Amino acid sequence: MPEEPRAYPLVMELMKRSPLQWRWTMVIVAALLLLFLVLAAYLDGVFTDLSHWSLWRSFLDGPVLIMYILVVYPFIWRLWWRSVLSLQSLLPIDEGDSHWVEMEVPIPNRRWERVAILIGAVFWLSLWQPWGRSWGPGAIWLSAYDVVTQTMLFGLLSWLVYSSFTSNQYISRLSRQHMNLDIFDPGVLTPIARSSLGFSVAFIGGISLSLVFQTPEDLLMWSNITVWVILVCFTVLLFFLSMWGTHGTMAKAKTRHLDLARKHLAGFSHELEDRVAQGQLVGMSELSSTISALVTYEKRVKETPTWPFSVDIVRRLAMSVLIPAAVYLMKIIGSFWARFGF
């Protein structure tokens, strides 16, 4: 079984090809984004305004979210790859089998990755329409900086959605294969739940970061609140949807074992009933023991889970959902404190 895929998604490919360690590459990219912001402020003659939070809040949200995606994605991808390995280990085929080729991780389609980035960039540009706005003196370079960073951000977001969709598609395809799944040992599928949790927590982290750069007025608008609540609900839904294929496989395996147990239990129960009716008491103890064992087996099968997550993973998801709420409340309390002094 391969320990590494034949090709990587775009961001991971850039990370692998970087001559520097990824963390130093990220430091350089962050420094350049910050340097260009300072340069834009200098060219617009508002360099002294950099000491005010309002300027940072207006133009730093894009670069921060860009860096967040670039930093977090490699961790998300590694969690996803571990879930792939856990599923592939259950396939009743080996690498020499011709069927194995169909189960290999597909090579990322660079053309569609670039199209996804282009769609995200065009979507934001068509929504904001910078060409139709009046760029007054004193904010030309900062406005240009904002357009460029926001375009990059929406391009990355669109690519992230595309990458998540293709990754989940492959997991679903693997889950639909016949697997040697032991329903009494679902721990082998825990990496899938961890990967789903990673995707959801990453989205929630992005939502929390975006809240940091909102103004008090924006935070109190019901339209914005509705959007943020919908986004958080979507991330929770994403957690379950990304495991839907695995859930179906586990549920089918559980149903198959239950049907088998009930079939044998019904057969032995009828045999016991016939023996009692005919007064054949010889061998009754062995038959009763068999029925008791089948009842115990049926009970154990009923207790097996049909989702790969554990209570601890659900608890972590619930705690992560509270993070945007905590950030929102702190921002609201902070704004009231600054305005009214209490």
Q: Are 275 and 311 in contact (CB under 8 A)?
A: no
CA–CA gap between residue 63 and residue 34 (Å, rounded): 8
Position 116: which residue type?
Answer: A
Position 85: which residue type?
Answer: L
User: Burial of 189 by CB count in 10 Å (0-12 exposed, 13-18 middle, 19+ buried)?
Assistant: buried
Is this structure's pTM higher than 0.85? no
Q: Check whether residue 158 and residue 24 sit in a common domain.
A: yes
Contacts of 118 (CB under 8 A, 6+ apart): 155
Q: Check whether residue 39 and residue 162 sit in a common domain.
A: yes
Please indicate, yes or no, if residue 150 is contained in any of the structural domains: yes
Contacts of 211 (CB under 8 A, 6+ apart): 219, 228, 324, 327, 328, 331
Q: Check whether residue 162 and residue 284 sit in a common domain.
A: no
Domain that holds residue 170: 1-180
- Per-residue pLDDT tens listing for the chain (342 residues): 455 677 788 888 888 888 888 889 899 999 999 999 888 888 877 766 666 666 677 788 889 999 999 999 989 988 988 888 888 888 776 555 545 444 566 677 888 999 999 999 998 888 777 777 666 666 788 888 888 998 999 999 899 888 888 888 888 888 877 778 888 888 888 899 999 899 889 989 988 988 888 888 888 888 778 878 888 888 888 888 888 888 888 898 899 989 988 888 888 888 777 777 777 666 677 778 888 888 888 899 888 888 888 889 999 999 999 999 898 888 888 877 767 655
**Which domain-ending residue is among 143, 159, 180?**
180
Q: Check whether residue 5 and residue 121 sit in a common domain.
A: yes
Please indicate, yes or no, if residue 227 is contained in any of the structural domains: no
**Which domain-ending residue is among 180, 201, 226?**
180
**Which domain-ending residue is among 145, 180, 215?**
180
3-state secondary structure of 238: helix
Q: Check whether residue 7 and residue 136 sit in a common domain.
A: yes
Q: Check whether residue 265 and residue 176 sit in a common domain.
A: no
